[in-house]
Amino acid sequence: MARRRDGARPHPADPDAFMEKSLFSFIWRFSKRQQIFILCVTVLTYPVTYILLELPKLIVNDAVQGSGFPRAVFGFEFDQVSYLVLLCFTFLGLVVVSNGLKLFLNVYKGRLGERMLRRLRFELFQRVLRFRLPHFRKVSSGEIIPMITSEVEDVGGFIGEAFALPAYQGGMLVVQLGFIFMQDPLLGLAAISSYPIQAYIIPKLQRKVVLLSRRRVKNVRVIADKVGESITGVPEIHANDASAWHSADLSDRLYENFKIRYEIYNRKYFIKFLNNFMNQLTPFFFYLIGGYLVIEGDLSIGALLAVIAAYKDLAGPWKELLAYYQMTADVSVKYQTVVENFDPVDIYPAERLTSDETVALKGDLVLSNVSFSGGAAGQEVFDVSLKVPQGQMVAVVGPDGSGRAEVLQLAAGLVSPSSGRVEIGGQDLDKLSEATLGREIAYVGGAVHVWTGTIRDNMYYGLRHRPLVGPERTAEEQRAHERWLTEARLTVNPTYDRAAVWDDYAAAGVKDLAELDRRALELLSAVGLDADVYRLGLQSRFDPTLDDKFAERILAVRATLERRIAEDPTLRGLVELWNISQFNASATLAENLFFAVPKDPDITMDQVPDLPEVKAFLKETGIDGRLEEIGLKIAETMIELFANVSGDSGLLGTYSFITQDDLPEFDRIVRNARSVVQKSRMQDADRARLAGLAFKLVPARHRLGVMTDELKAEICQARKQFLEKVVAPGETFVAIDPGVYLPPLTIEDNLLFGRARVDRRDARQRIDQVIRSIVEETGLREPIMFAGFNYHVGVSGSRLSASQRRRLALVRGLLKNAPVTILDDIATGLNDEDQQLRQTLRALLEGRTLLFGSPYTGLAEEFHAHVLLDQGRLASKQADPT
Amino acid sequence: MSLETEVEALRRVPLFRGIDETKLRLLAFISDRTRYQKGERLCSQGEEGDSAFIILLGTADVRVDTPEGERTVAQVGENSIVGEIAILCDVPRTATLVAATDMDVLIVSKDDFLKLLKEFPDISLEVMRTLALRLERTTRDLAEAQRRAGD
C-alpha cells in the first residue's frame, strides 16, 4: 500500500499525494484482483499441461500395446480402436484447451499491462501539470519526455508477469524438487547444493548491473535533453559556429553510454555464465555420487536415471526464474528512476486541477506582506503590500529583475508566496483551484505561448476549460464512445470528451459561435491584428461545402473584378484571365496544359506530371513527345546563351530555370538527343528532365520563342482532351472554371481568376489594390477574416511574428471576459502604436480590475494609480486611490 | 515577341554596337520585357534607380522638376538606353520618364547590368565610350554656355 512520509505531507487529505516508490507496491495496489485472477488461471493450466504430458504415454502403453478390451470409461464400453480414438480426441481437445488458455492469458496480461501503463503515464503527466512553476526551472522537457514515453514502456510488459511467473515457475520447481527428494534425500540435497551459492552471489552481481542501468537511464536522459536543447537553440549553434562543440559534447555522452552498456553486458552475461556453470556442476555430482552409490548397490540405476531426468526438468524453471529476477531488477530500477522525479514535496493537490467549482472573484486585490523567492537574485519579492480596489487600473512599474514579473504572477495566483497572502475579495488565491484562477483572472505575461493549431484555437483557448455540449453520435459511434469511457475509468484517466464543444460562450458573454467569432473579430481589430488576419485569410483555403454562400460571394467578386477589368483599359493590360480556348502567356506551360488544379493542395504543379494518370495521358496523346521537343529547344537555347558565361557570375542562377550545376547535364542530354543514333535510345530520366523544363516555361517571361502560335493552339487542344479524359472522370483534379469555386486554391487566387501579367510592371500590386477595394465594397472583408481564423500558426506559432503572437495572446486573455486582468510587458512602448493600444485596452477593460506591468515609468500617468518596484521591494506608491 | 526581335532592336542601340549577337541575346534574356501604356511612368526623379531602360518601341518624355512644376526637357525614342547613370553610380534618378506613346521596354536591373559588365568587358568599354562622348559634349555645351554668359 501507499507508503507515506509522515510530517512532510503537504496535503493530508489527499491519499494520492505520493507515488508508489516501488514497482511491486504500484502493481499490487492497482491490480491485485487481476493479478490473483492471472494466478488462478495459471494454476488451472497446470493440471491440463500435466495430463497433456501423460496422455501420449497412456496412448502408447495402454491403447496401442494394452490388452483386456473392451474397457469401460464413464459407463461406456470401448473396444481397442474406439479406445484409441477416444484417447486421441481427448488429447486433441486438451491441446486446444491448453493453448486456448495460454492465448487468453497472454492477451489478458497484455491488456492489463497496457492499462496499467496508461494509468502510470497519465499520472506522470498530471503530476507535471501539478508541479509549481518554479519547479520547472529545475526540470527540462528533454528529460521529462523520455520518462513518460520510453522509460516506463518496459513496465507495461512486466506487469502481467509480475506475480504469475514466479508463482508458476516456483511451483514447478518445488514439485520437481519434491520428486527428487522422494527418490533420495541425499540426491535432493545435491540438486539444491548450488542454490545457496547462487542465491548469494547472483544478487550481489545483479546489484552492480542495477546501479549501471540507473546510470544508463540518467545518461540517456541527458542525451535527450542535449538533443532537445540543440534543436531549440539551433540558430545560435549556426550563428556561433558551435556545432563542433555540440558534436563533441554529444559524442562524449554517447561514449559514456557505450561504456555503461558494455559494462552491463559484461556483468549480465557473466551472471549467465556463472549460473549455467552452477547448473552443470550439479549433474557432475549426480554422476559422481549417484554412480558411486549405484556401484556400491545403495541406489538402483532406475532411480538415478529418474533423478537425472527430473533435474533436467528443474533447469527450465530455474532459468526462467533467474531471467525473471534480472528483468525485475531492471524494470524496478527504471520505475524508481522515473517516479522519484515526480514527487516534489510542494506539488499541488490534484483537486486544484480537477475541481470544476468556480468562485467569483469580486472585490479588491490585496497583497499583504508578500514575499517570494524564485531561487535567484532578481526573482525575489520582499514584503510587498499592495491594494488594488475593484475596478481600478494600476500600473506596476519596475525594470526587469525588479520583481515586477513575480508580483504580477503572484497576483494571478500562478505562483504562491513563501510568506504573506494574496487575496481577491477576501479569497486566498493559494487555496483556490485553477477553475477559479484560470477563469476569473486573465493573465498575459511577457513570454506568451501560442499553441500549434489555428488562430481560432488559440483565441478560444482561454474558454476551453471543460467539455460542455457532447456531440451527437450514431449508435455505432456511441458504442465506441462507451468503450472509450470504460477504458478511461479503468485506468483512472479523465472522461472529458474531446469531440464535445469546449468553448464556453457564456463566459465570453456571447450566445453562440457566430457571436463569439464576431466578438473575436472586434478584439482582433482592437489590438491591431485585423489587417494581418485579413491577409492570412486571403492566403488560406476554404472548403465551400461548409458555407456555400461564402463561396458564392467570392465568385460574385470574381465576376465584378472581371467586369471591371473588361471596362477599364488600364486594368485590362494588367491581367491575363483564364480562358479555356486561349493560351495564357503569363502562366506556366503546365498550368496551361492541365488547366486544372489537384484537389490535394499538397500536390504542387511540379509534381502533377508524375501522377500516374497524368503520365498515362501524356504518353497516350503523344504530348510527352511535344513537350520533350519544347524542352530540348529550351535546353539548347539556354546552353547557347550561357555557354560563355563563367559559373560565378550569378547570371544563370537568377534568370534561367536551369542552374549552373545542371548545365553540363543538359548539355549531355542535348548532345545525345541531336545524334541520330542515340535519339531513339534516350533514357526515360532524360526525357522527363526535358519535359520538366518545358512545364516550367512561362512564355511571356522567358521569351525564348519556342511557343509558336501552332504550339499554343495545340496545347489548348490538349487541354480539352485532358479535361475530358483525366479531370472529368477522375477524383484528382478540379477543372479551372470561371463559375466554380476552386477549393485547392487560396481565397486570393479564387478572387482573381487569372494571372497578373508578367510583362507589366507592378501588375500584381496594382491588381491587388483593385481586389482589396472590391472586397471592401462587397463587405467580404469580414468573412475572409473568419477564414483567416482557420489559418494554421505552425509549431508553437512559428508562422507568426513575435508581435503577432503577443497580440494573439492578448486577444485570448481579453476574450475570457474576466473581472481581473493582469498584463505584463504588453504594449509598454511610448510610440503611438502602443499608446493607441493601451488606450483601447483601457476602454475595453473599463470598470474591471487591471494590473498593467511595465518596465517604463513614462506611461504611469495613464492609469488610476501606479506602484514602483525596485529590487523586489515596493519603492513608492503614488496617487494611491485607497 | 521573342528574343530574336529584341536582339534586332538591341543591335540598333548605339551602346551595343560592337557586341556580338550571343551576348545581346543573353542581355535580352536576363532583362524584363515590359509594356507601358501612354502616360505611365517608367521612373520618377529623385527616387533610387535600380534599373536601366532600353526602349524597343515608342517614345518617352524626359521631365525634370522645376519651381513651376514638371517640364519636359527632352524626348527619348526607339533604340536608346536611359537611366543607366543611376545604376552605375548610385545617384537618384535625375529625371522623370513618362511614356509619350504606348511603349515596349527592356528593363535591365542594376545587379544584372553590373554582372554583365563584369562578364563581358567589351560592353564596359562601349559604355565608357558612350559616357565619354556625352561628357565631351556636355563640357562643350558648358563652355558654350559660359562663353555666351560672358558676352
What is the SS3 string spanning A88-111? Answer: HHHHHHHHHHHHHHHHHHHHHHHH
Who among B3, B22, B35 is closest to A704 (CB)? B3
Q: Does A654 touch chain B (CB under 8 A)?
A: yes
- How far apart, in whole angstroms, are the C-alpha atoms of residue A439 and residue A108? 43
Domain ranges in chain B? 3-150
Q: Which residue of B has its CA nearest to A643?
A: B22
Q: Which residue of B has its CA nearest to A761?
A: B34
pTM over cut 0.95: no
| pLDDT at residue A171 in the model | 83
Q: Is the pLDDT of residue B112 over 60?
A: yes
- How far apart, in whole angstroms, are the C-alpha atoms of residue B60 and residue B78? 9
Do residue B119 and residue A760 have CB atoms under 8 angstroms apart? no
How many CB pairs below 8 A link A and B?
62
Q: Does A761 touch chain B (CB under 8 A)?
A: yes
Query: Residues of chain A whose pLDDT is less than 70?
Result: 1-18, 647-656, 676-681, 876-882
Cell representation of residue A585: 502567356
B1, B85, B108 from B33: Cα distances, Å: 9, 20, 9
Among A68-72, A649-653, B15-19, B138-142, the least confident range = A649-653
Q: Is the pLDDT of residue B79 over 60?
A: yes
Preferred mutation among A759, A764, A766 to probe B, highest tally of B CBs within 10 A: A759
In Å, how far is B62's CA from the nearest CA of chain A? 19
Do residue A646 and residue B25 have CB atoms under 8 angstroms apart? no
In Å, how far is A535's CA from the nearest CA of chain B? 28
Q: Is the pLDDT of residue B89 over 90?
A: no
Strand partners, A879: none
- How far apart, in whole angstroms, are the C-alpha atoms of residue A126 and residue A107? 28
| Secondary structure (3-state) at B98 | strand
Peptide bond into B67 cis (omega under 30): no
Cell representation of residue A19: 507515488
- How far apart, in whole angstroms, are the C-alpha atoms of residue A663 and residue A211? 61
Q: Which residue of A has its CA nearest to B26?
A: A641
Who among B4, B6, B119 is closest to A651 (CB)? B119
Which residues of chain B does A654 touch, with a Cβ-Cβ cutoff of 8 Å? 30, 111-112
Do residue B119 and residue A646 have CB atoms under 8 angstroms apart? yes
Q: Does A703 touch chain B (CB under 8 A)?
A: yes
In chain B, the percentage of residues whose pLDDT exceeds 90 is: 11
Among A105-119, B25-39, B77-91, the least confident range = B77-91
Task: Report the CATH number of the B3-150 domain.
Answer: 2.60.120.10
Cα angle, residue B40 at apex, residues B38 and B43 outer, rounded to 5° = 135
Who among A641, A654, A761 is closest to B34 (CB)? A761
| pLDDT at residue A8 in the model | 36
Q: Is the pLDDT of residue B56 over 90?
A: no
Amino acid A114 reads E
Domains and CATH numbers, chain A: 23-342 (1.20.1560.10), 355-462+795-878 (3.40.50.300), 548-784 (no CATH)
Do residue A573 and residue B35 have CB atoms under 8 angstroms apart? yes
**Exposed/middle/buried for A262, CB within 10 Å: 0-12, 13-18, 19+?**
exposed
Q: Let me know: does B66 contact B20? Beta carbons within 8 Å.
A: no
Q: Does A639 touch chain B (CB under 8 A)?
A: no
**How many residues appear in chain A?**
882
DSSP A103-158: HHHHHHHHHHHHHHHHHHHHHHHHHHHHS-GGGGGT--HHHHHHIIIIITHHHHHH
Cell representation of residue A413: 495566483
Which DSSP state fits A608?
G
Which residues of chain A does B37 touch, with a Cβ-Cβ cutoff of 8 Å? 569-570, 573
Q: Which residue of A has its CA nearest to B38?
A: A570
Three-state SS for A749-760 is: HHHCCEEECCCC
Please choose, from the candidates B85, B94, B88, B91, the residue with its C-alpha nearest in 3D space to the C-alpha of residue B116. B88
Please choose, from the candidates A399, A507, A385, the residue with its C-alpha nearest in 3D space to the C-alpha of residue A446. A399
Who among A649, A650, A705 is closest to B4 (CB)? A705
Which residues of chain A does B2 touch, with a Cβ-Cβ cutoff of 8 Å? 703-705
Which residues of chain A does B6 touch, with a Cβ-Cβ cutoff of 8 Å? 703
Q: Specify the long-range contacts of residues A707-716, CB closer than 8 Å, at least 24 apart.
A: A707/A583, A707/A585, A707/A589, A707/A630, A711/A626, A711/A630, A712/A583, A713/A583, A714/A626, A715/A583, A715/A589, A715/A592, A715/A593, A716/A580, A716/A581, A716/A582, A716/A583, A716/A592
| pLDDT at residue A627 in the model | 87
